[in-house]
Amino acid sequence: MLGKEYLALLRRELRPGVGCAATAAIAMAAARTKRFLNEPLLSMDVALSSSMYKNAFAVTVPGTSETGIELAAALGAVLDRDDQELGLFDHIVPADLKRAKGLRDEGGIRVTVVDPAPHAYYIHILARGENNTVETWTEHHDARMTRVELNGEMVQESPDCAEPQELSEASTALLSLELADLILIVEHFPEEELNFLLESVRMNRSMAEKGMEYRAGLGLGHGLKDLVDLKILSDDLITQVRIQVA
């Protein structure tokens, strides 16, 4: 039974964030890289795996009404909030946005795709200041910065960059389970160990309601609801879930 490992996976993955997780992860990696530079940033090269690029390139950056990986990385570099992790886009003020746009518009942020990349989750950043250069590698997960080099010298390394074996086994096993298996596993957990999920449910439901209220994004939820109202789609549980997560 991998029950404890399943819970550990949930706790790792269900962390609050602001905006698209891939976009926020790129910004967080940029913020961490800038911190190691320890001087004003002149330029930053961001190299991404194709999957990271695909997940982030057309996503609106929170608080900006604009899309673009360059803007996300620039905001990460100017916000100096890497301690907020995936929540660093919270409370962007006009001055932050102006600085980030200036950095982007002056060509200070360059984005490329690494194909093939060493891993599906891969962010490599090269930051330059007047006196220093910093390179960082983030792999497998947004919180796993596996290597940092300052002026070509290693200053931080996590050689075991792979996912812990027990979590890797749990991830693999989880994909093979049927819904009935998941229900059986959940029923064996003490209720207090699942309380952290309630906040995730509340947060996601609130976001879904706001999205339906303001017709945010592509309007997929509204499109599905219109099909239900026209009796083209059945108003069942699966359809209601699709509407809320769209």
> What residues contact residue 68 under an 8 Å CB cut-off, 6+ apart?
57, 61, 104
Q: What is the mean pLDDT of residues 131-142?
A: 91
pLDDT value of position 113: 97
Q: What is the mean pLDDT of residues 56-82?
A: 88
pLDDT value of position 129: 96
Residue with the larger pLDDT of the pair 130 and 20: 130
- Total residues found in the chain within this entry: 246
Residue with the larger pLDDT of the pair 42 and 81: 42
Mean residue pLDDT of the chain comes to 85
Angle, helices 195-214/220-229, rounded to nearest 10 degrees: 80
Closest CA to 161 of 205, 207, 124: 124
Rounded to a whole number of angstroms, the CA Rg of the chain reads 20
pLDDT value of position 163: 53
Does residue 79 register a pLDDT over 60?
yes
Q: Which of 26-40, 142-156, 232-246 has the highest mean pLDDT?
A: 26-40
Q: What percent of the chain has pLDDT over 70?
A: 90
* pLDDT digit string, tens, across residues 152-203: 999 876 655 445 555 566 677 777 888 888 888 888 888 888 888 888 888 8
Place of tokens 């509407």: 243
pLDDT value of position 2: 63
pLDDT value of position 64: 87
Residue with the larger pLDDT of the pair 1 and 208: 208
112 close to 46: Cβ distance less than 8 angstroms: yes
Provide the sign of the torsion angle of the four alpha carbons 158, 160, 161, 163, taken in this order. Answer: negative
CA distance 126 to 105: 18
Closest CA to 18 of 63, 58, 57, 55: 63
pLDDT value of position 176: 81
* pLDDT digit string, tens, across residues 86-126: 777 888 889 999 999 999 999 999 999 999 999 889 999 99
Q: What is the mean pLDDT of residues 69-74?
A: 95
What domains sit in the chain, N to C, each tagged with a CATH number? Answer: 21-157 (3.30.1330), 164-245 (no CATH)
pLDDT value of position 217: 64
Does residue 216 register a pLDDT over 70?
no
pLDDT value of position 165: 57
Q: What is the mean pLDDT of residues 21-33?
A: 92
| Confidence band of 35 (pLDDT split at 50, 70, 90) | very high
